[in-house]
């Protein structure tokens, strides 16, 4: 008979407000959001110098750096003619370099954020799901042996270390992805042997490698219908403790795979002035596996169309013409679906694209993924 019990009103869930979908006006991608914090714990390691990459070890987590991601994207198709784009991303962020000195299984500073998206091109639908969890009680985490990262039953785990093969699993609300992706080629070290400088300050960099040409086999389920699919996937791996420079607002990232076996990665850092940051960079990997470094000067990118989201009102570039004079490459990049905008806690555009064009006299065609972050 305590006072709050008087009308038997005890026991109302107090935590419920956390479950509410909070109205956010964030225009950032998860990465720009975490990179926006400049006052970083000095105890974090930083990407200051070149390092020796070793696999499969480096497929696993690097928890002494503030952030890290496993970024799988790809274009899939079924024999029956269904076509899909998919994104399965695991972000790891640490809120501090050290765990709190409290006796609790929840004291880990490591947070895992998962983004899972399916673009159903036949139905012209883009489905997006997000999960977030701290590394606690085994519910979410990233492990080294074997290299794996998971949030509940969303999971990417290295299955065949030698061939760089992963098992990808994600399911939510009637959508499911079960995919085995593998590549025989070695990972491509981006930037300066894997040290990717993002600004002029020392340490304002990350370690960055890609596996740009993964063959993918598995199935995609939407509702009751299961599609047997195959296609190509891309893995981007990056970790570091950098922040966006004050004059940088975001980036456009391209990961394009051509039918002849070659691939192109280019990220274009955008400055507040609208200009392109000179630290923008990329790589061309030929069908023979030869790697060509690209920089801001050698790669011309023209935006030929814009798309404005009817929901958020944000205008994104929606078609590009890319020219690389040194390789005699001229291509046009076209979104496979205009609306592949993330509208959850973070707002960005990440979607499947088609590429057509030429290299020298031979035609080039393929698919890929584009990420547009930091638009408002």
Partner 1 sequence: MLGVAVVTAVQLTQRSAREALSYTERVLVGAVTHRLVAQDGLINEQVFADLSLAFPALRPLPVLGFDAEVPGAPPHALRVVGLDLINGSLPARGAPNQSNSLLPLLRDPATGLVNSKTRRALLSNHGTTVELQVKGGKTKLNLLAAPERTLALDLPDDLIVVDIATAQALANQPGKLSAIDLALPATDRDKLAAAIQARLPAGLVLRDSAADRVQQQALTRAFETNLTALSLLVLVVGMFLIYNTESFLIVQRKALFGGLRALGVTRRELLIAVLVEAGLLGVIASIIGVACGVALAHALLQLVTGTINDLYYRVAVTAVSLPPATMGAIALGGVVATLLAALSPALEATRVPVTDALHARDSSLYAPAARTWRVSVAAALLALLLMRLSSDNLWIDYAALLALMLAVSIQIPGVQSLVVAGLLTRLRSRRWWPERIALGNLLRQRRRVGPATTALCVAAVVSVGMQVMISSFRSAVEVWLTQLLRADIYIAYTDHTPREMGESALAELRSKLLALTEVRAVSSVTRLTKPGVNGPVALIVYDLPEPARAGVQFIAGRASDVWARWETSDVAIVTEPFAYHNKLAIGATVNLETPRGPQRFTIAGIYRDYANERGAVALSRPTYARHWPPAGYSGLGVYARKETGIAKLRAQVETLTTANASLEIHANAELRRNALAVFDRTFVITKTLGFLTLGVSMVGVVSALLAQQLEQARQYGTLRALGINGYELACIVFAQTLVIGVVATLLALPLGVGLGVYLIRVINLHSFGWTMPATVAWRQLGAIALSLLGAALVAGIYPTLRALHTSPARALRNE
Binding site for partner 1 (CB under 8 A): 1-20, 22-28, 33-34, 36-37, 95-96, 100-107, 109, 111, 131-134, 137-139, 152-154, 171-173, 345
Tell me the closest approach of the beta carbon of residue 230 to partner 1, in angstroms: 26
Tell me the closest approach of the beta carbon of residue 358 to partner 1, in angstroms: 42
Of the pair 3, 145, the CB lying nearest partner 1 is at 3
Of the pair 26, 64, the CB lying nearest partner 1 is at 26
Token pair for residue 225?
Answer: 């219908």
What are the angstrom distances between the C-alpha of 67 and each of 2, 34, 193, 238? 48, 8, 20, 8
Tell me the closest approach of the beta carbon of residue 29 to partner 1, in angstroms: 10
First-to-last C-alpha distance (Å) of the chain: 54
CA–CA dist 275, 272 (Å, integer): 7
Tell me the closest approach of the beta carbon of residue 178 to partner 1, in angstroms: 14
CA–CA dist 197, 201 (Å, integer): 9
Of the pair 15, 273, the CB lying nearest partner 1 is at 15
CB contact at 8 A, 137 and 104: no
Of the pair 2, 361, the CB lying nearest partner 1 is at 2
Place of tokens 């993924």: 369
Tell me the closest approach of the beta carbon of residue 44 to partner 1, in angstroms: 12
Place of tokens 């400049």: 38
What are the angstrom distances between the C-alpha of 185 and each of 33, 162, 163, 182? 33, 10, 8, 9
Place of tokens 């065949």: 160
Of the pair 1, 54, the CB lying nearest partner 1 is at 1
């Amino acid at each position: 008979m305590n006072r709050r019990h008087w009308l038997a009103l005890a026991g109302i869930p107090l935590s419920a407000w956390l479950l509410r979908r909070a109205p956010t006006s964030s225009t950032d991608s998860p990465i720009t959001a975490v990179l926006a914090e400049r006052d970083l714990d000095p105890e974090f390691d930083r990407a200051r110098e070149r390092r020796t990459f070793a696999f499969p070890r480096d497929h696993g987590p690097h928890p002494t750096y503030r952030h890290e991601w496993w970024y799988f994207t790809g274009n899939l198709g079924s024999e029956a003619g269904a076509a899909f784009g998919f994104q399965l991303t695991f972000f790891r962020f640490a809120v501090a370099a050290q765990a709190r000195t409290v006796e609790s299984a929840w004291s880990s500073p490591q947070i895992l954020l998962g983004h899972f998206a399916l673009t159903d091109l036949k139905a012209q639908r883009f489905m997006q799901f997000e999960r977030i969890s701290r590394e606690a009680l085994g519910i979410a985490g990233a492990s080294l042996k074997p290299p794996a990262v998971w949030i509940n039953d969303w999971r990417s785990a290295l299955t065949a270390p030698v061939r760089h093969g992963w098992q990808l699993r994600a399911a939510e609300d009637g959508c499911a992805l079960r995919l085995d992706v593998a590549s025989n080629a070695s990972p491509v070290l981006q930037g300066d042997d894997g040290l990717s400088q993002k600004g002029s300050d020392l340490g304002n960099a990350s370690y960055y490698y890609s596996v740009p040409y993964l063959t993918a086999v598995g199935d995609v389920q939407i509702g009751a219908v299961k599609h047997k699919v195959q296609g190509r996937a891309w893995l981007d791996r990056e970790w570091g403790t950098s922040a966006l420079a004050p004059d940088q607002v975001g980036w456009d990232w391209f990961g394009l795979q051509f039918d002849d076996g070659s691939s192109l990665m280019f990220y274009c850092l955008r400055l507040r002035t609208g200009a392109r940051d000179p630290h923008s960079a990329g790589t061309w990997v030929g069908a023979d596996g030869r790697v060509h470094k690209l920089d801001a000067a050698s790669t011309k990118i023209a935006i030929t169309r814009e798309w404005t989201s009817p929901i958020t009102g944000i205008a994104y570039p929606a078609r590009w013409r890319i020219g690389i004079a040194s390789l005699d490459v001229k291509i046009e990049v076209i979104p496979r679906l205009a609306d592949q905008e993330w509208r959850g806690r973070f707002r960005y555009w990440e979607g499947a694209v088609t590429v057509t064009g030429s290299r020298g006299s031979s035609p080039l065609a393929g698919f890929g993924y584009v990420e547009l972050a930091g638009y408002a």
